[in-house]
Amino acid sequence: MNFLGLEKEYTEEKTSKIVILPVPFEKTTSYMQGTKYSPEAIIKASEQVELYDEEFDTEAYTHGIYTDPYFYREVDLDKLSIEKGLDTIKDRVDHHLRNKKMVISIGGEHSITALIFKSYWEKYNKDIGIIQFDAHGDLRESYHDEKYSHASIMKRVFDYVDSKDKVLQIGIRAISKEESLFIKERNLNLVKAHELYDNKNAYKKFLEKLPKQVYITVDLDFFDSSEIQHLGTPEPGGFSYREYISILKEIKKTKTIVGFDVNELSSSSQSAVSDFYSARLMYKTISCMMS
């Protein structure tokens, strides 16, 4: 497994600045299945991605990108409970952060994010924010009696984050009544899809409140299903690849992106389009980070 199919000199763990952590974790999916196969599919598709980025005029791979096979060779997440699996994922992220790497995780389902971000939260002594691109609020206390559900990850983030101004949620267009009440009660920095369509700069007033360092989590159902299919829980009315890049560039103007994750692709052997879309999106985000 080698993200981008790089030559060996750019993939050494010790010398690489970036670690790709494939996380084939699937325990709580509630609609489309198959997210655990996506990390491998995305990495395979990434071999077709151009290494030079024409927009950022950079070859980000030259900083070194190590693809960690830990959850394929050392630990079988299928055999662990949800809690033990998530703790094990956090431990692996902790390992790489101690070695001063930028960790980019590929899910799998979105439930992995709460504890991955907790690793960053601890590393940066709470002086870090998180930006969520998503169709769903993921703010339920639990879903199907599981508090670590993919539908509850941002509620788990709010269990330990000490200020609402360290969280920004963008593109939300599917929330429950329970979540709506929580959003109003906490006055959260959440930009709904219709608000972003009415005003493409609607997120900026919240962005300026975030700390200098930010972590990004991308649920691929943020995007419109006319561009990317095979999602864990697809929602109509999403956004384009270019709209995401435009927001990303605005983030980069005032913030330092220190890591990110991409989740919820339900890979399909019938089409490589969504796999490649995800791989290209990842490398574009890396190019923006490193430019």
If one counts every other C-beta atom within 10 angstroms of the C-beta of residue 253, the result is 7
DSSP bridge pairs for 136:
174
Say how far apart CA 133 and CA 138 lie, in whole Å: 11
The CATH number of domain 3-290 is 3.30.1360.10: no
Mean pLDDT of 266-273: 73
Lookup result for tokens 């788990």: 156
Residue-wise pLDDT tens digits, 7-36: 999 999 999 999 999 999 998 776 667 799
- Tell me: the pLDDT tens digits for 53-109? 999 999 999 999 999 999 999 999 999 999 999 999 999 999 999 999 999 999 999
- pLDDT above 90 for 269: no
Is residue 270 very low, low, confident or very high in pLDDT (cuts 50, 70, 90)? low
**What does pTM read for this prediction?**
0.97
Q: What is the pLDDT of residue 77?
A: 96
* 143, β-bridge pairs: 146
In this prediction, residue 7 carries a pLDDT of: 97
* 197 token code pair: 């369509």
Determine the Cα–Cα distance for residues 220 and 230; give it in Å rounded to an integer.
10
- The domains of the chain are located at 3-290
pLDDT confidence bin for 150, thresholds 50/70/90: confident
CB 64 within 8 A of CB 10: yes
> pLDDT per residue over 181-225, tens digit each?
999 999 999 999 999 999 999 999 999 999 999 999 999 999 999
